[in-house]
Chain A
Amino acid sequence: MSAGAAPDGVTSTLDLDSTLGDARVVVLAGGGGVGKTTTAAGIGLGLARRGRRVCVLTIDPARRLADALGLQGVADEPVQVPLEPSAPDGDTVGELWVVMLDAKSTWDGLIRQYADSPEAAEKVLQNRVYKEFSGAVAGTQEYTAVEKLHELLASGRWDVVLLDTPPTRNALDFLDAPQRLHAFLDSRALQLLLKPASGGLGLLGRGAGVFTGLLKRALGVDLLSDLMEFFGVLGGMSQGFGQRARAVQALMAEPRTVFLLVAAPHPESLEEAAAFRATLSGRDIHYAGLVVNRLTRAVLHEDEAAVRGALEDALDDADLAGRAAGLHERVRGQARHDDALIAAHLAAPGHEPVLLVPQLAEDVHDVPGLDRLTEHLFPAAG
């Protein structure tokens, strides 16, 4: 029985070795708390162990993992993870790098790049609305993630870049972020807001004039002028953002860009996976499958009495056997639950390949821990 399979329930059908064989970009999407960052690092390590130069772009790694990978306090700069030769073959041929996204500094870089002049850039960077916007507004983190991805690929230093996307309720939010931002900056409404006072705009123009008057009354004058200035300068960069949005879209559609969804064995998480699958039709992206983390495993088809009997025979300790069987029975309840959830997910028509990663005996917070995870992510090589 392969290491990636549950003892006697659902089994894995996704083979990362062949799926990611010549991938250049691997995008991992999924909600929060499903182990996405750890999975990205584990896949990255597996690919590095196969001789590839790998960079993992992550958003917000757990602190101990960040420490172990050398990311503590380092944002926006790739850091190389020293890899001990892996037993038993003993040679490390590839490289593993990690970089933590800093949305704010990526934005600042973009503004400097697209602004007409250094003065214009400085004007935006000092704008109060921009300062809030670049750090806070929903969708800007998604946008900077793809922007950073683009930058890493362009450097040519890596064979494959893994992107651990920001957690979103809907995995597609991330895909649409560049397009949305561009549409926002480019919108006709924005142009009208910028020229509320100019004559000859017709009803819409007059409406906008009335409107800005009302906004002044409701929101406060200063805010409005900051907003206008912000849009005035950022709107001028809209062409640059538009080009970038198209480039990102093309990159996402490339055959060597592979999407994986990461989930936990919870109904909401698997529902999200099903929704992701459903919305993919008509989209030019390559969705390879679903990684389900922390699957609880147990012997599903033996009851507590049978387990107690077997343990009593093996241990010659009735009291311990009884308590251990009680603990197993509890795990079995959870394992059956996990198994049924995944079986139901797989029963849906047109389901994707699935890779099941069991609950590990230890948390992953160092490279040896990642190596243990990698054995489950790439079971064929183990």
Chain B
Amino acid sequence: MALLDRRLLLVTGKGGTGKTSIAAALGVLAARQGKRVLIAEVAGERLSSLFRHRPVGHHETVVEERISLQAIDPIEAAHDFLRSQVGGPVHRVIFQNRLFNLTMTAAPGLREVCTVDRFRDLSQEDRGRKHPTYDLVIVDAPATGHAMAMLRSPATYSGIARGGPIKKRADELSALVADPARTGVVLCALPEETPVNETLETAEALRGLGVDLGLVVLNRTRGTLLGDDEAERIGALAPGAVDEASDGDLAVRVAGPVLVEHRRARREDAQRERLAAGLRPGVALTALERRDDEVTREDLGELADALAEAAA
């Protein structure tokens, strides 16, 4: 199943792996294919500034042709859920209740379940006349640990609450996230040891949950222009340790930085190979080159091009 033909994509990865840019680029790519896309983020708002729009908050907001954003507030998501359960008028009575907020903080996984329920609602094929329908919902999810807790929360919750409407809903949500025709995960990684370990562990954990891993994006890769012997020849120009700054001729001063970069690129190559070898056959892996500057709206098109083949 092509990545963008599902209804719900969760983009996650360790902090600093470029999840937000990749979620946004996938959104741009899908919109280019004519899909109506909603990109959602959880507990934070960075996408609106990337799309040069004022903050959108917990409201579905069209920011470009075929692209909408929502910054999901987990507490608001819980209110949305309760409203659907008890009805608007009753909900208003308890809307500002401190006990409610307390329960939300304390009940394990409740916020997560309500957030996943928001994804379910957004990704429905028919949302009625009052709400827009999207072909694809892309979630710029929290970092891996929290995202996994989120994916597990329906099952966890279903185990704790032995009855009631929330259990029924939690079971529906478990079915949604474990349906590869509807839901896929995109994991973002960096070519370094810990992020690669974590990516491989997460890939297995997703398998355990029955959640489909649609794509792994290895971000910020660098290559070298030198062979190992050549790099060492250059490093030998510097008198001391290569990561110490040295004085002297220009050739001596550039030798350290060149060798450090070469070795770093080589270590990254090794991590990339380890990642490729560790993923199950059939899991798509694609690499994006490192860039000096922050991703802007202009760069998203280029990133979308780079992801197009892997997402096809």
Q: Give chain A's interface residues, CB within 8 Å of chain B.
A: 1, 3, 5-7, 31-34, 62-64, 128-129, 132-133, 136-137, 167, 169, 184, 187, 189-190, 192-193, 207-208, 210-212, 214-223, 226-227, 230-231, 264, 266-269, 296-299, 302, 306-307, 310-311, 313-315, 320, 323-328, 330-337, 358-363, 365, 372, 376
- What distance in Å separates the Cβ of B103 from its nearest Cβ neighbour in chain A? 6
User: Contacts A33-B195, A222-B163, A358-B243 given: A311-B259 contact, CB under 8 Å?
Assistant: no
B102/A327 in contact, CB under 8 A: no
Of B109, B160, B226, which is within 8 A of A323 by CB? B226
B161/A361 in contact, CB under 8 A: no
A337/B292 in contact, CB under 8 A: yes
Of B44, B165, B192, B249, which is within 8 A of A314 by CB? B249
User: Contacts A64-B193, A211-B99, A361-B259 given: A299-B250 contact, CB under 8 Å?
Assistant: yes
- What distance in Å separates the Cβ of A125 from its nearest Cβ neighbour in chain B? 15
What separation, in Å, do the CA atoms of A296 and B220 have in the docked complex?
14
Of B106, B226, B245, B253, which is within 8 A of A327 by CB? B226
What separation, in Å, do the CA atoms of A174 and B170 have in the docked complex?
31
Would you list 18 pairs from A and B whose C-beta atoms are within 8 A, ordered by A residue?
Answer: A1-B247, A63-B197, A129-B106, A193-B99, A216-B164, A217-B165, A218-B81, A218-B82, A223-B161, A227-B106, A266-B16, A297-B245, A310-B250, A314-B249, A324-B225, A327-B226, A330-B261, A358-B260
Interface string of B2-19 (1 = CB under 8 A from A): 000000000000111100
A33/B224 in contact, CB under 8 A: no
Contacts of B103 in A (CB 8 A): 193, 215, 219, 227
Contacts of A133 in B (CB 8 A): 106, 108
A219/B226 in contact, CB under 8 A: no
4 more contacts with CB within 8 A, not counting A219-B110, A311-B251, are A3-B244, A220-B167, A222-B160, A363-B267
Q: Is B309 among interface residues, defined by CB-CB distance under 8 A?
A: no
A33/B243 in contact, CB under 8 A: no
Of B16, B162, B165, B249, which is within 8 A of A310 by CB? B249
What separation, in Å, do the CA atoms of A217 and B93 have in the docked complex?
15
A307/B161 in contact, CB under 8 A: no
Q: Is B180 among interface residues, defined by CB-CB distance under 8 A?
A: no
Of B93, B162, B192, B261, which is within 8 A of A222 by CB? B162
B226/A320 in contact, CB under 8 A: yes
In the complex, which residue of chain A has the Cβ closest to the Cβ of B110?
A219
Q: Is B262 among interface residues, defined by CB-CB distance under 8 A?
A: yes
What separation, in Å, do the CA atoms of A82 and B275 have in the docked complex?
32
Of B14, B242, B253, which is within 8 A of A32 by CB? B14
Contacts of B261 in A (CB 8 A): 327-328, 330-331
User: Contacts A297-B260, A327-B261 given: A208-B99 contact, CB under 8 Å?
Assistant: yes
A363/B102 in contact, CB under 8 A: no
Contacts of A128 in B (CB 8 A): 160
A359/B254 in contact, CB under 8 A: no
What separation, in Å, do the CA atoms of A189 and B168 have in the docked complex?
29
Contacts of B107 in A (CB 8 A): 129, 219, 223, 227
Contacts of B16 in A (CB 8 A): 31-34, 264, 266, 268-269
B234/A311 in contact, CB under 8 A: yes
B249/A193 in contact, CB under 8 A: no
What separation, in Å, do the CA atoms of A155 and B234 have in the docked complex?
52
Contacts of A266 in B (CB 8 A): 16
B: contact size bracket: 35 or more
B230/A320 in contact, CB under 8 A: yes
Of B194, B254, B258, which is within 8 A of A62 by CB? B194
A361/B226 in contact, CB under 8 A: no
What separation, in Å, do the CA atoms of A219 and B160 have in the docked complex?
10
Interface set, chain B 239-289, CB cutoff 8 A to A: 241-245, 247, 249-254, 256-264, 267
Q: Is B137 among interface residues, defined by CB-CB distance under 8 A?
A: no
Contacts of B256 in A (CB 8 A): 297
Q: Is B62 among interface residues, defined by CB-CB distance under 8 A?
A: no
Q: Is B85 among interface residues, defined by CB-CB distance under 8 A?
A: yes
Q: Is B298 among interface residues, defined by CB-CB distance under 8 A?
A: no
B250/A306 in contact, CB under 8 A: yes
Contacts of A190 in B (CB 8 A): 102
Of A137, A211, A212, A365, which is within 8 A of B108 by CB? A137
Q: Is B143 among interface residues, defined by CB-CB distance under 8 A?
A: yes
What separation, in Å, do the CA atoms of A336 and B261 have in the docked complex?
15
Instruction: Sort A-B residue pairs by CB-CB distance and give the 3 closest, nearest first.
Output: A132-B108, A220-B164, A220-B161
Contacts of A331 in B (CB 8 A): 257-258, 260-261
A31/B15 in contact, CB under 8 A: yes
In the complex, which residue of chain A has the Cβ closest to the Cβ of B230?
A320
B253/A299 in contact, CB under 8 A: yes
B161/A222 in contact, CB under 8 A: yes
In the complex, which residue of chain A has the Cβ closest to the Cβ of B103?
A215
What separation, in Å, do the CA atoms of A358 and B244 have in the docked complex?
8
What separation, in Å, do the CA atoms of A359 and B247 have in the docked complex?
18
Q: Is B216 among interface residues, defined by CB-CB distance under 8 A?
A: no
What separation, in Å, do the CA atoms of A5 and B103 have in the docked complex?
51
In the complex, which residue of chain B has the Cβ closest to the Cβ of A268?
B16
Contacts of A311 in B (CB 8 A): 234, 251, 254
Interface string of B92-123 (1 = CB under 8 A from A): 01100111111101111110000000000000
Most buried by B among A128, A214, A327: A327
Interface set, chain B 41-90, CB cutoff 8 A to A: 44, 81-82, 85-86, 90
B99/A360 in contact, CB under 8 A: no
In the complex, which residue of chain B has the Cβ closest to the Cβ of A373?
B243
Interface set, chain B 123-170, CB cutoff 8 A to A: 143, 149, 156, 160-167
Contacts of A332 in B (CB 8 A): 257
What separation, in Å, do the CA atoms of A34 and B163 have in the docked complex?
44
Contacts of B237 in A (CB 8 A): 314-315
Interface set, chain B 181-228, CB cutoff 8 A to A: 190, 192-195, 197, 222, 224-226
What separation, in Å, do the CA atoms of A95 and B107 have in the docked complex?
43
B102/A220 in contact, CB under 8 A: no
A220/B162 in contact, CB under 8 A: yes
Most buried by B among A1, A34, A218, A331: A218
In the complex, which residue of chain B has the Cβ closest to the Cβ of A135?
B108
Contacts of B254 in A (CB 8 A): 298-299, 302, 307, 310-311, 324-325, 328
